Amino acid sequence: MTRTVALLALALLAAQLQANLIEKTCPGKSEAQLATDFEAGIGGFLDKRLKEPVKPRIAVAQGKATVQLELVSLKDDTGTWQELVQYAWFKETSLYAMKPYGKTYTYKHLDIAPTQLALLYEPKYRLPADIVTAAVWVASKGDLDAANQLLAGLAAVKPDLRGDVEAWLCARNSWTAPLVDFAAHDLATQVDVFRLLPKSQVDERLKLLEKEAKDAFKELETQQGGDIKSKPGARKKPPTLRLEILVSRCERFGKAYAGTPYVANKKNMEKVEKLIEVIKADLEFVENEGFKADRLGIENKLGECAQAWDNLLRIDPLNPDLITKAAEAWAKAAEITDGGKKAVNPKAALRAGNLYEEVLAIFPAALGFHNHAGLTLMAGGESKRAKEHFEEVIRRTDNRTDLADNEKSNREFAERQLKLLK
């Protein structure tokens, strides 16, 4: 009997502790009411977010791939989301900027994965009541981890609610206070995720991170090409990731796996530092040799200039700036005449066209590169491929009254080239 009474008392206490957070932020509401309020208000929330400079973004699975989407329009309870593509490079962060372009997807608001929907509410920019409502709703959908992320963020910006947040999380997860802060950093996205966890769960997560750290370092070595002994410019294999991204990931390795024995091991971190040193040496080599390549162009040694940029491209093959430099050099070396009908060196023109297509694979929304690719492919004897690029420019500028000057000039150029191809 005594044990039963004790359990009932604990259950009542847990319920009271949960209620404290709700009562402080959403007075007079029950959790069931908050979940209903969230679903009723999601359309209005998305409408407000759509008017803000930074639009809502989600990730959805498409087959084996994950696609990043941005909300572009709303109608009733349905949103149209457009795929995000790279369009610019932010050197300060070593990340590509993204913008909506291309394929669109339509979803009813409540058909979107609850985790994705709830995490659109950012504690730094939303009222505590909004965050608690989102956390309660996503928890009701079975995702206590997303609720944790929301409430951990709330506790960080509203320290006076920390105790109530911990009490709610303990009650919902059958944990015992106190909870500790646990931060996770993603090497690829640079996103930091914060949670409040009991010490035992932190220890379990660190065990998992220990294994991940070993695998992550092996992947960094592979992405570099697996050769740290050869001199810059003479690596046995080219990297499989842009070097600036690779060095950024190496520099943040300690942050991503902080608290693990792997990072605590001095020898392991010396290997990471060595990898950083090697990658930076390659970047410095490209920069120095790039000046020499430019000099060859100034001296009108066009073929040598193009080959020099091609050689440098092998060191950092996924760098769109280098690809563009090489493409431009080969286009000049081709000596294209008659609007693309002829070239002194058709092979150079073809090489330029292939490189411009590589740039478009990285920056698919870059309209002007379609004309560059079309012109050089045309001069290189690839009329069919050239036509596809010019037609793409026409397609993307058709039936629009809002064309910018550069879009108008690109369209006019494409129209002239298509006439020449007839």
Question: What are the residue ranges in the chain where pLDDT is below 70?
Answer: 1-19
Q: Alpha carbon of 259 to those of 129, 179, 182, 263, 270: distances in Å?
A: 34, 17, 10, 7, 17
Q: What is the pLDDT of residue 2?
A: 53
Q: Which two structure tokens, joined as six digits, stand for 48? A: 């407000």
Query: What confidence score (pLDDT) does residue 19 get?
Result: 66
Give long-range contacts, CB 8 A cutoff, 24+ apart: 209-218: 209/257, 209/259, 209/260, 210/257, 210/260, 210/261, 210/262, 212/257, 213/253, 213/256, 213/257, 213/260, 213/262, 213/263, 214/262, 216/187, 216/253, 216/256, 216/257, 217/253, 217/262, 217/268, 217/271, 217/272
- Calculate what percentage of the chain has a pLDDT beyond 70: 95
What residue ranges do the domains of the chain occupy?
2-187, 200-285, 319-421
Cβ–Cβ < 8 Å for 263, 213: yes
**The pLDDT value given to residue 102:** 85
Residue 31 sits at φ, ψ, to 5 deg, of -65, -35
Q: What is the CATH number of domain 319-421?
A: 1.25.40
pLDDT in tens, 131-150: 999 999 999 999 999 999 99
pTM comes to 0.91
Look at residue 192 in the predicted model and tell me its pLDDT: 96
Q: What's residue 14's pLDDT?
A: 46
> How far is the first Cα of the chain from the last one, in angstroms, to the nearest whole number?
94
- Position 6 scores a pLDDT of 43
Q: What is the pLDDT of residues 284-321, one digit of tens each?
A: 999 999 999 999 999 999 999 999 999 999 999 999 99
